[in-house]
Chain A
Amino acid sequence: MPKIKVTNLTKVFGKHPSGVLPLLAQGESRESIFKKTKHVVGLNRISFSVREGELLVVMGLSGSGKSTLLRCINRLIEPTGGSICIDGEDITKLPPKELRLKRQQKFGMVFQHFALFPHYNVLRNAAYGLELMNVPKAEREKKGLEALERVGLDAWAKAMPNKLSGGMKQRVGLARALALDPEILLMDEAFSALDPLTRREMQSELLRLQHEMHKTILFISHDMDEALNLGDRIILLRDGDIVQEGTPEDILANPADDYVADFVRHADRSRVLTTRSIMVPASAVAVLGVDGPHTALRKIRHHGLSSLFVMDAFHTLLGLVREDELESMRLRGKRDLAEIMETDLTTVGLDVSLNDTIPIIASLPYPLPVVDDRNKLQGVILRGTVLEALGGNGCSDETGECTATGEQQ
């Protein structure tokens, strides 16, 4: 069962919102509904679900409905139609008192502009949710301090919020949400108000915390880099509709339409793309004990390479042989490639980010071999492939071409 399951969630702003629902069902557009009824469709029958422990980023420009969507999840904004099930329980049907308790138990929320209480010190802010639940003072201060420790601000417990920098304020905001140990974190453009450097730092911080805590997180963002960096999955919203839903790599590789493509074009791909997604099959390899220098040289020349990877019969990468040394070996009339094979190769795993791969490739005289955890050759990364992937052409269907234009192997 998904942690959060949203079905046909609809929000219409105006005087008689429910009257617009039939029009939406007939497939009328946002514009024509606005013209006819002066009602604004904020969310148009949106369905998606979030798994336990998943970090889902909802992404879109301002006015796309992403903040409305987030606020519908804990009913800060009352949905017009549809259902929102948390652990299988439809919270759109809860009476006010139970909704309040549900908010205390299940949800922690982090706000774009921090929303720290100026009249409380950092610790009391962090323990705010517990204070509302009437947890005894000693206990809530202990938990508040623990939460502050998590975000590295325990030394500031007694400071007032106006003494903190933006990044620190948002750490307190995060601590306030975490102090309750909620199952679900709702983060509304939580890092958008921070400067780029602090934003990066907070993103890493969130990923680190998520690695420890495995919360279910719904993160709203308008920043594609942030979405690609944080999200296990991304939902793209436009005008209250879901345009695309998928993993960061899906979205980078196959943008659903121009809107998404436009987003993706300016994104920093190097952090998202992994070796797995940009590697290409090695165009030719030599098998130890089977191929001799003659065959190896023929393969090299046929594919226009300068060196050849050597594997055993089970695809385990053993080493590399060079054209000039093969040539001299052939002249000497020897057969065993093991004699001239270089064995101290640099390799990478399958899920290394492109960002980390680039510096390795830059200094390597041969294509970078990608191996799995049993050292079996899965593919190679060429400089040309990397450039193309960064350029945003997507590489998966141009594999053959990539290989053909491959550098001196």
Chain B
Amino acid sequence: MSDFFSSFRIPIGEGIDSALELVVSTVEPVTLAFSSVVEKWIDQVENFLLWLPVPVTVLFFAFCAWLVARKLGFAIFSAIGFLLIASMNLWPAAMNTLSLVVVSTLLAVLIGVPIGILAGISRSVERIITPVLDVMQTMPSFVYLIPIFPLFGLGKVAAVFATLVFALPPAIRMTCLGIRQVPPELVECAEAFGATRWQRLFKLELPLAAPTILAGINQTVMLALSMVVISAMIGAQGLGGEVWKAINRLQVDMAFEAGIGIVIIAIFLDRLLQKLGLRASSRWQS
């Protein structure tokens, strides 16, 4: 039996290799162009965040926290948290990470929500997309880090792309779920009153799905943050880069400091988005 398999081998690896070569050679110009555009966005966000004086940015985050959550405790936590990051001399790295996460999330929403809507509307789209999402979420990220180089170059965009592969699925899945959860009697009512498909989508399905979609985006942000260290391996810097450096030098203190920075950003973004989700529905959910 083992003889049989040593002589007979299905060349999946070779196949993927040559397929990738073909893909790379044909779409490289496009992906590189995309890469430079996205890189500019990230840089702009990062430059803006770094251009502002640190106290102003900290106050701004604290104000955002208060504005969304209306809780003084959360605002104070945000202020202290970001001040702590600054005091650990991690401010530029943190802003780098934040801009990476923001741009990744934005792209995930831009791509994920429309696909999620389609999957929510059409069973066949859902059937095609589900296995793709399964692969995206379970394939170890190191595996697709390698082919990302030739497509997007080394650096932030490659990191964004790797993050997207990992963090996009929940945005799609939760949007699809949100649309499917709209009570059928409300859909029937919209139909009975002569709603067009667009009216049904924008006046009924999306508003009712909003809390679920926001929960999906929250997941996306969290997954994006969990990717920062891996992103650092393909040239993204930021807090992930600090952790990666510390690992290479076996500096526990430095690793922990950067790690705490990531946790603070994660808690800040998570609470912010959760509250946003609650506010989207608090007016009508009892």
Question: Which residues of A come within 8 Å of B, CB atoms?
Answer: 74, 76, 100-104, 107, 109, 111, 113, 115, 117-119, 128-129, 131-133, 160-162, 176, 180, 186
Contact = CB atoms under 8 A, between A and B. Distances in A.
A103 B284 contact: no
Nearest to A134: B199
B194 A113 contact: no
B193 A128 contact: yes
A103 B188 contact: no
A101 B194 CA distance: 6
Contacts of B286: 162
B283 A129 contact: no
Nearest to B195: A132
A157 B192 CA distance: 23
Interface stretch (B155-163, B203-211, B226-234): B203-211
B192 A109 contact: yes
B188 A115 contact: yes
Contacts of A133: 194
Interface string B182-226: 010110111111111001000110011000000000000000000
B199 A132 contact: yes
A317 B193 CA distance: 56
A132 B200 CA distance: 9
B18 interface: no
Contacts of A109: 189, 192-193
Nearest to B191: A76
5 contacts: A115-B186, A118-B208, A128-B193, A131-B203, A160-B283
B188 to A, nearest CB: 6
Contacts of A161: 284
B184 to A, nearest CB: 10
A124 to B, nearest CB: 10
A117 B194 contact: no
B185 A111 contact: yes
A176 B195 CA distance: 14
Contact of B285 (A113, A117, A162): A162
A107 B193 CA distance: 8
Contacts of A176: 193
Nearest to B186: A115
B284 A74 contact: no
A296 B77 CA distance: 104
Contacts, number: 60
Nearest to B183: A115
A118 B185 contact: no
Nearest to B185: A115
A79 B285 CA distance: 37
Interface in B267-286: 281, 283-286
A132 B285 CA distance: 24
Contacts of B199: 132
Contacts of A104: 193-194
Given A111-B185, A113-B185, A117-B204, A132 B283 contact: no
Given A115-B188, A119-B283, A129 B193 contact: yes
Contacts of A162: 284-286
Interface in B34-81: none
Given A101-B194, A104-B194, A119-B207, A111 B189 contact: yes
Contacts of A186: 192
Contacts of A103: 191-194
Contacts of A107: 192
A161 B199 CA distance: 20
B179 to A, nearest CB: 14
B194 A118 contact: no
Nearest to A160: B284
Contacts of B203: 131-132
Contact of B284 (A113, A115, A118): A118
A118 B194 CA distance: 19
A131 B203 CA distance: 10
* Residue from B183, B196, B203, B208 with most neighbouring chain A CB atoms (10 Å): B203
A250 B178 CA distance: 51
Contacts of B189: 109, 111, 115, 117
Most buried by A among B183, B185, B284: B284
Contacts of A74: 192
A396 B212 CA distance: 64
B284 A132 contact: no
Contact of A100 (B186, B194, B207): B194
B42 to A, nearest CB: 35
Contacts of B204: 117
A77 to B, nearest CB: 10
B196 A100 contact: yes
A100 B147 CA distance: 50
Best-buried of A76, A132, A176 by chain B (most CB within 10 Å): A132
Contacts of A117: 186, 189, 204
Contacts of B281: 119
A118 B209 CA distance: 12
Contacts of B192: 74, 76, 103, 107, 109, 186
B193 A132 contact: yes
A241 B243 CA distance: 75
Among A119, A161, A176, A180, find the residue whose CB has the most chain B CB atoms closer than 10 A: A119
Given A119-B283, A162-B285, A132 B194 contact: yes
Given A115-B186, A117-B189, A119-B283, 8 more contacts: A101-B194, A103-B193, A115-B185, A132-B194, A133-B194, A161-B284, A162-B285, A176-B193
A180 B195 CA distance: 14
Contacts of B183: 115
Nearest to B286: A162
Q: Which 10 A-B pairs have the closest CB atoms?
A: A104-B194, A103-B194, A115-B189, A109-B192, A118-B284, A115-B185, A100-B194, A162-B286, A129-B193, A119-B207
A129 B195 CA distance: 8
A115 B182 CA distance: 11
Contacts of A101: 194
A111 B191 CA distance: 13
Contacts of A160: 283-284
A129 B193 CA distance: 6
Contacts of A118: 208, 284-285
A108 to B, nearest CB: 8
